A and B are shown apart, each in its own frame.
Chain A
Amino acid sequence: MKSLKRTRDITPLPSRNFKITVDDQPVDACEGETVLSVLLAANYARVMENDRNVASGAYCGMGVCHCCQVKINAKHKQRACQTLVEPQMSVETLTNRFKEEGIKHD
């Protein structure tokens, strides 16, 4: 399986690390960091797709703007910047309940 490379870390990851999956690809993560920091280190800029199918990237990094919502462990709309990584965590970017379930509201 292709694994994601963390090319944008500023300091090396501590050795006590584990893997999570992002869009079905394994990637290194370490205790205490957020899902967003993994995504950014692995070169993701577009992370979220909103209910109107517009992509967005994390903006505030502190839980306020809701621009970084991804699917985490099968739950939609989790803020990547406010969720700490855990072993075996599964993250999906650019997913949206409306797109997946094919139902539109307006």
Chain B
Amino acid sequence: MKKYDVVIAGGGAVGAACAYFLSRDTDLKIALIDLKKPGNASRASAGGLWAIGESVGLGCGVIFFKTLSKLHSEAKGEEVPVMRPHQLPDCFFEFALTSNNMYPALHQEMLEKHGVDFKFERTGLKFIMYNEEDRLYAEQITQGIPHLADQVRWLDAEELKKEEPYVTDDAIGAIDFICDHQVNPYRLVDAYLEGARQNGVSLYLNTEVTSVIRNGNVVEGVKTAEQTFFCDTLINASGAWANELYQQATGRTMPVYPVKGQIVLSERMPKIMNGCISTSDCYIAQKDNGEILIGSSTEEKGFDTTNSLDKIQELSQGAMKCLPILKESSIKRCWAGLRPGTPDELPILGPVDGVEGYLNACGHFRTGILTSAITGQLMTELVTGKKTTLDLTPFSVERFEEAAQKAG
């Protein structure tokens, strides 16, 4: 039998960040338990810190828009559907941007204190426009975020060519979100874990939490196949699988479910990109080792992690359209990961009404790499009883119960 102050279930970016920040800022006795299931999102991710880009719905949002713009051209003069970028609420911008701002210092700290480098790169994120519809979309995006005007740069075709010489001549320009950057996601998770280990966290890797121990409305610990862990606080950071532990901890269910994303990775290439790119077909990022990463599909297919030819083709074609030089490169690897999705695309954070000794840190959907840092900080504040940096009301699990009651 083991006794800890805090047990963290799940060691993806979110769980690992919780372990790091808790161990950095407190003297608590902490254990992290992780079994890497197929589909682990952090290892599958692109590593984009696209705080504005993701908040305004680039990535999956553009695919949503494309369906609409197809309707538009089909409607020809008839009632045209309103084309709106898929923008997330203000609370999400704050959450994402606060986290984003933590990375430069965190990168230094990890290098200096722990000797690990998660390859933070200042890249910007450019939305490449091919036609007037794209320009209209870009204008709507910028109109939706007047308070962030100083983070947006408009580039005409010539300026774009100068900054990204390999982008197709068909591009008519781009908008660049200058505060959006990237990291190497594997190294980020490893950095958090290594920092946590050096700070004294007990890591139980390749170990599954098989059940949660609950006594009435108090969560008392967890069991693995071989051991029992008692704890004062259990943090559920088990990604797309979070509902399983939630049910055991609370007797209720919450809407966290897997949303599959497929990725195509090229062989190592000489540096052909200066920044990250999003188009209306895909996003493209050249990683620190030269590989070009192309993502990503958004599919609700349960816990399926297979690749499919149609998506790989779509992504590759989208990337070759943007960067014709990619026609000269080979695909090295394709994979799929499971984002922990929620119905409103917001994470689920913090305590649960009427349940003691339990915190949610899940539902980070398509931005859990970006928002892992702030999540680690918020969980540390909750565990130590401090006032949280951000208001957590919009992220509480109760929002779904209220929504259900209203609907019912």
- Tell me whether B267 and A77 are in contact (CB under 8 A): yes
Q: Which residues from A are CB-within-8-Å of B328?
A: 75-76
**Is A59's beta carbon under 8 Å from chain B?**
no
Within 8 A of B (CB), among A92-106: 97-98, 101, 103, 105-106
**Is B268's beta carbon under 8 Å from chain A?**
yes
Chain A nearest CB from B189 CB (Å) reads 21
Chain A nearest CB from B220 CB (Å) reads 48
Query: Dominant SS at the A interface?
Result: mixed
* Interface residues on chain B, size class: 10 to 19
- Tell me whether A101 and B267 are in contact (CB under 8 A): no
Within 8 A of A (CB), among B290-327: 290
**CA–CA, A103 to B288, complex, Å?**
13
- Tell me whether A77 and B270 are in contact (CB under 8 A): no
Chain A nearest CB from B243 CB (Å) reads 40
* Interface residues on chain A, size class: 10 to 19
State whether A105 and B290 are in contact (beta carbons under 8 Å apart), knowing that A51-B268, A97-B270, A98-B270 are contacts in the complex.
yes
Q: Which residues from B are CB-within-8-Å of A103?
A: 270-271
- Residue in chain B with minimal CB distance to A104: B270
**Is B210's beta carbon under 8 Å from chain A?**
no
Within 8 A of A (CB), among B322-336: 328-330
**Is B289's beta carbon under 8 Å from chain A?**
yes
Which of B270, B271, B328, B329 is the most central at the interface, judged by chain A CB atoms within 10 Å of its CB?
B270
**CA–CA, A91 to B251, complex, Å?**
66
- Residue in chain B with minimal CB distance to A103: B270
**CA–CA, A59 to B77, complex, Å?**
61
- Tell me whether A77 and B271 are in contact (CB under 8 A): no
- Tell me whether B330 and A97 are in contact (CB under 8 A): no
- Residue in chain B with minimal CB distance to A52: B268
Q: Which residues from A are CB-within-8-Å of B271?
A: 103, 105
Which of A75, A97, A106 is the most central at the interface, judged by chain B CB atoms within 10 Å of its CB?
A97
Which of B268, B289, B329 is the most central at the interface, judged by chain A CB atoms within 10 Å of its CB?
B268
Chain B nearest CB from A54 CB (Å) reads 14
Chain B nearest CB from A77 CB (Å) reads 5
State whether A97 and B269 are in contact (beta carbons under 8 Å apart), knowing that A75-B328, A76-B328, A77-B330 are contacts in the complex.
yes
**CA–CA, A106 to B289, complex, Å?**
5
Chain A nearest CB from B273 CB (Å) reads 12
Q: Which residues from A are CB-within-8-Å of B329?
A: 76-77
Q: Which residues from A are CB-within-8-Å of B290?
A: 51, 105
B residues with a Cβ closer than 8 A to A are 267-271, 288-290, 328-330
Can you list 22 pairs linking A and B with CB atoms under 8 Å apart? A51-B268, A51-B290, A75-B328, A76-B328, A76-B329, A77-B267, A77-B329, A77-B330, A97-B269, A97-B270, A98-B268, A98-B270, A101-B270, A103-B270, A103-B271, A105-B268, A105-B270, A105-B271, A105-B288, A105-B289, A105-B290, A106-B289
